C-alpha cells in the first residue's frame, strides 16, 4: 500500500510524463534490451523499431500515475495487457527485471529531479502494479492449464491445411502435434504463434485472432494478412514469413487462446462490424451465432478496400444464410472495375459506412456491438454506434498491434 506522500510524489510526475513519457520509455527499452538481450525474443522488434511499444508504454505509465489513488479503474486495461502477456510468455520472474530498468531509467532521464524519495515512491507504485499483473496473469495461466484440452506456455501445432483466402490473406488450419484436443475457447479470442525470423536473427511471437468458432476440439484456425512495406513503413516480418515459409505439414509453436474481446452469450441483438482483416474475430462470432443460436438478431457490417480483399466472404454468406434474423451490409471503399458492376442493395460502392448508414441499420439499445479493424475505423464506428443509441458500455473493440500493450 502506498503512503499518502508516495501518492503525491507519483502524481507530481504526471506533467513530466505527459511531455517526456516517450523519451523515458524509449530509454527504458534500450536499456533493458541491452542488459537483457534474451528479452528480444519476447518483445516485438518491429513494434520496437517503429516506436509503437514505446508510445504504448508511455501511455500506460501516464494512465497509472493519473489514477494512482484508485488503480481499480484501470482493471480493464490490466486484463487486456495481462491477456497479451500470457500469449508471449511473460512470467512473474520478468517483473523484477522490468522494475530495475524502469526505475533506473526514471533516474537517468530525470537527472537531479529524480530524488531518492521520488524513486522510492515509484518503486512502491511499480511493485503495486506488478503484483496486480502477476496475479491476473497467474490466474490466466492456471485457467489455461486446467481447462480440458488446454495448456500453459507454448505447444507445437502442425499445419493441417493452408488456404489462400485473398491475394494477401492465408488461413492456416492447425492441429496439436501431440494428437490431443484444444480447449473450448471463446469466439473473438486470439493466440500467439512464434517462429525464428532470419531478418532479425530472433525467435519472435505475434498475436492472431482465431478466425473460426470453437465448434470442435480438434484444431485452431488463424487467417494472416501479409503486410507489405510501403510509404517508408517496413513490411511485416512475421506475416511475410508465414506466407512464404509455413507450409502444410510444418510445425509451429502456439500459445493457448485468451483475450477479453469475445462474444457474450445471450439472446439480445448483436452488431458485428469488421474492417479489413478485422474480420477474423468477427467471423468467429458470426459463425458461433449461426451454428448455436441462429434465432439471435444479428447486424453484420464488413468493410474492405476492394471486393477481392473481402476475406472469408464466402464463409460469411454460408453462415449468414443460417441466421433467422439478420441484416447484412458490405462496403467497398476503393472499388475496381469489377466491383463497380455489383448490383446489390446490401453492397455500397465507393464509400465507408457513415453515422447515417449505421443509424439506418436501426441498432437496438440493448444490443452488444463488436468492432475490429484499423484504429481510426474503430473510433469512427464507435462514435456512430453511440450516436445511434448504443450505450458505450455495450460497444466492444479489439486493438490489433500494440493497442495499449506494453
In 3D space, the residue among 325, 327, 272 whose CA is nearest the CA of residue 303 turns out to be: 272
Q: b/e string for 92-124 if b means 16 or more Cβ within 10 A?
A: eebbeebbbbbbbbbbebbeeebeeebbebbbb
Q: What are the backbone dihedrals phi and psi of residue 208, each rounded to the nearest 5 degrees, phi first?
A: -140, 135
Give every CB contact of residue 106 below 8 A, 6+ residues apart in sequence: 24, 114, 118, 119, 122
Q: What are the backbone dihedrals phi and psi of residue 19, each rounded to the nearest 5 degrees, phi first?
A: -90, -35
* CA dist., res. 290 & res. 247, Å (int): 31
* CA dist., res. 195 & res. 222, Å (int): 15
CA dihedral (205, 210, 214, 219) in degrees, to 10, reads: -50
* CA dist., res. 71 & res. 253, Å (int): 35
**Is residue 173 annotated as part of the catalytic site, yes or no?**
no
DSSP string for residues in 382-393: HHHHHHTT--GG
List, in sequence order, every beta strand (DSSP E) within 127-250: 154-166, 169-176, 190-197, 202-209, 220-225
* CA dist., res. 255 & res. 298, Å (int): 31
List, in sequence order, every beta strand (DSSP E) within 107-153: none
Give the chain's end-to-end CA distance (angstroms, integer). 23
* CA dist., res. 339 & res. 218, Å (int): 38
Give the strand pairing for 251-255 and 190-197: antiparallel
Give the strand pairing for 270-275 and 251-255: unpaired
| DSSP at 305 | S
Q: Which position among 29, 64, 126, 137 bears the catalytic label? A: 137
**Is residue 319 annotated as part of the catalytic site, yes or no?**
no
Give the strand pairing for 298-304 and 202-209: unpaired
In 3D space, the residue among 344, 346, 349 whose CA is nearest the CA of residue 334 turns out to be: 349
* CA dist., res. 183 & res. 185, Å (int): 6
Q: Which position among 95, 208, 262, 370 bears the catalytic label? A: 95
Catalytic positions, written as ranges: 95, 137
Amino acid at each position: 500500500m502506498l503512503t499518502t506522500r508516495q501518492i503525491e510524489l507519483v502524481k507530481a510526475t504526471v506533467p513530466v510524463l505527459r511531455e517526456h513519457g516517450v523519451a523515458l520509455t524509449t530509454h527504458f527499452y534500450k536499456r533493458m534490451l541491452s542488459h537483457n538481450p534474451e528479452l528480444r525474443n519476447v518483445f516485438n522488434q518491429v513494434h520496437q523499431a517503429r516506436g509503437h511499444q514505446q508510445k504504448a508504454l508511455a501511455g500506460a505509465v501516464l494512465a497509472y500515475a493519473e489514477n494512482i489513488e484508485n488503480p481499480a479503474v484501470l482493471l480493464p486495461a490490466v486484463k487486456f495487457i495481462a491477456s497479451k502477456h500470457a500469449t508471449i510468455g511473460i512470467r512473474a520472474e520478468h517483473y523484477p527485471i522490468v522494475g530495475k530498468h524502469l526505475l533506473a531509467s526514471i533516474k537517468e532521464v530525470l537527472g537531479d529531479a529524480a530524488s531518492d524519495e521520488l524513486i522510492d515512491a515509484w518503486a512502491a507504485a511499480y511493485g503495486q502494479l506488478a503484483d496486480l499483473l502477476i496475479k491476473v496473469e497467474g490466474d490466466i495461466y492456471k485457467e489455461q492449464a486446467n481447462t480440458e484440452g488446454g495448456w500453459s506456455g507454448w505447444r507445437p501445432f502442425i499445419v493441417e491445411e493452408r488456404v489462400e483466402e485473398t491475394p494477401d490473406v492465408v488461413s492456416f488450419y492447425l492441429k496439436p502435434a501431440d494428437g490431443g484436443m484444444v480447449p473450448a475457447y471463446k469466439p473473438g479470442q486470439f493466440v500467439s504463434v512464434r517462429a525464428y525470423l532470419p531478418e532479425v536473427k530472433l525467435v519472435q511471437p505475434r498475436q492472431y485472432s482465431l478466425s473460426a468458432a470453437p465448434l470442435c476440439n480438434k484444431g485452431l484456425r488463424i487467417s494472416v494478412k501479409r503486410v507489405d512495406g510501403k510509404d517508408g513503413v517496413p513490411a511485416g516480418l512475421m506475416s511475410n514469413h508465414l506466407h512464404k515459409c509455413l507450409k502444410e505439414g510444418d510445425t509451429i509453436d502456439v500459445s493457448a487462446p485468451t483475450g477479453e474481446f469475445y462474444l457474450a452469450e445471450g439472446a439480445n441483438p448483436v452488431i458485428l462490424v469488421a474492417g479489413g482483416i478485422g474480420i477474423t474475430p468477427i467471423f468467429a462470432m458470426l459463425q458461433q451465432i449461426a451454428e448455436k443460436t441462429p434465432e439471435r438478431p444479428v447486424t453484420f457490417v464488413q468493410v474492405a478496400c476492394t471486393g477481392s480483399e473481402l476475406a472469408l466472404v464466402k464463409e460469411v454468406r454460408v453462415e449468414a444464410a443460417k441466421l433467422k434474423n439478420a441484416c447484412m451490409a458490405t462496403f467497398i471503399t476503393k472499388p475496381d472495375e469489377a466491383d463497380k458492376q455489383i448490383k446489390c442493395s446490401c453492397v455500397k460502392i465507393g464509400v465507408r459506412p457513415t453515422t447515417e448508414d449505421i443509424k439506418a441499420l436501426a441498432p437496438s439499445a440493448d444490443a452488444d456491438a463488436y468492432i475490429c479493424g484499423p484504429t481510426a475505423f474503430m473510433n469512427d464506428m464507435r462514435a456512430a454506434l453511440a450516436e445511434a443509441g448504443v450505450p458505450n458500455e455495450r460497444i466492444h473493440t479489439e486493438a490489433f498491434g500494440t493497442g495499449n500493450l506494453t
